[in-house]
Amino acid sequence: MKALVTVTHPRKNSLTYAVMNRFVEGLKQNNHEVDLLDLDRDGFNPVYTAEDEKDWINPAKSYSPEIRKEMHRIAAANALVFVFPLWWYSVPSMLKGYLDKVWNMGLLEEMASKKVLWICLAGGDRKHLSKYNREEMLTHYLNVAVAGYARVKESRVELLYDTLSESKEHIASLLERAYQLGREYE
Number of folded domains that form the chain = 1
Q: What is the CATH number of the domain that holds 122?
A: 3.40.50.360
Identify any residues that bridge with 80 across adjacent strands, giving them in sequence order: 4, 116
End-to-end CA distance of the chain, in Å? 8
- Angle CA 184–147–72, to nearest 5: 80
Structural domain for 56, as ranges: 2-184
Per-residue pLDDT for the chain (186 aa), expressed as one digit of tens each? 999 999 999 999 999 999 999 999 999 999 999 999 999 999 999 998 888 877 777 777 888 899 999 999 999 999 999 999 999 889 999 999 999 999 987 787 888 899 999 999 999 888 888 888 888 999 999 999 999 999 998 999 999 999 999 999 999 999 999 999 999 999
- Please give the order of strands across the beta sheet that includes 2-7: 33-38, 2-7, 79-85, 115-121, 154-160
Nearest-angstrom CA–CA distance, 25 and 153: 25
Closest CA to 119 of 36, 19, 13: 19
Contacts of 49 (CB under 8 A, 6+ apart): none
Angle at 37 between CA 54 and CA 122, to 5 degrees: 100
Q: What is the pLDDT of residue 157?
A: 97
